[in-house]
Amino acid sequence: MIQKRETLTKKERSAEKAFFANLNIKKRTTKTPLVVALIGLVGSGKTSVAQELAKHIGATIVSSDIIRIELRKQKERYENARTIAENAAIKVIESGGNAILDSDFIDRHKRASLRLRFRATNVHPVFIRIHCNIDAQITRMLAEFCDDHTSEFLRPEVKIREMWRRTPLHYRSTNQRGGIWALKKLPFTVSAEINTTHSDAWKKEVEKIAQRFLDA
């Protein structure tokens, strides 16, 4: 079931307006417009991959964290953050850019909604899966310093709780080596998978993916 498009409240529209005002739209360098949506847990490296890919293909990042910051400033809940992100991605495409949405699109309703919004534009969203060693994820989250105006998640323990809560959506538990989490096989097609555990390797992989987009 596809969720219907939500109508924004006055405060949500104010948050959207503030987000749009700071959206620095880059001119795309691909032959055709691209909408790239990422799949991965908090701490997996989605934002880093988005930033690296954007440099290669002339893309604008639609940041879920910043949208939530603007909603929080308006004392609004996050339910319509997805709608604001979709509206922003459409604005980017209509302005001659490519859009990268850096929130987690593991949810099928969220993917269906994005596809539906872009159906009339003849732009077909592509999905990239981001993952890394779970120990590396936790280390990253503990190392980051976040304050009220830079992240949706204010403390490392909040990030870790969010990661743990959503882990079963991405991983399955196995008895190997005393018990490890293994990536689930996704029931839909992704354009690429990137393991961000080692920085040199994943950046090279992003370059290859970007070149594929540029050649298409």
123 found inside a domain: yes
The single-letter code of the amino acid at 169 is L
49 found inside a domain: yes
Give the position of tokens 């060693």. Answer: 133
The confidence score (pLDDT) of residue 2 equals 39
Q: Is the pLDDT of residue 149 over 50?
A: no
Task: Give the Cα separation of 132 and 142 in Å (integer).
Answer: 15
Domain tally for the chain?
1
147 found inside a domain: no
pLDDT band at 32 (very low <50, low <70, confident <90, very high): very high
Which residue range forms the structural domain that includes residue 62? 10-132+187-215
pLDDT band at 108 (very low <50, low <70, confident <90, very high): very high
Where residue 90 sits, what CATH number does that domain have?
3.40.50.300
86 found inside a domain: yes
- Choice between 85 and 43, residue whose per-residue pLDDT is larger: 85
What does the pLDDT look like over 198-210, one tens digit per residue?
Answer: 888 999 999 999 9
44 found inside a domain: yes
Quick one: what percent of the chain has pLDDT higher than 90? 73
- Summarize the confidence of residues 98-127 as an average pLDDT: 95
**pTM summary value:** 0.89
The closest of 75, 77, 46, 43 to 61, measured between CA atoms, is 46
Mean pLDDT, the chain, as a whole number? 90
141 found inside a domain: no
196 found inside a domain: yes
Q: Is the pLDDT of residue 151 over 70?
A: no
181 found inside a domain: no
CB 92 within 8 A of CB 23: yes
| 180-191 exposure pattern, b = at least 16 Cβ within 10 A, e = fewer | eeeeeeeeeeee
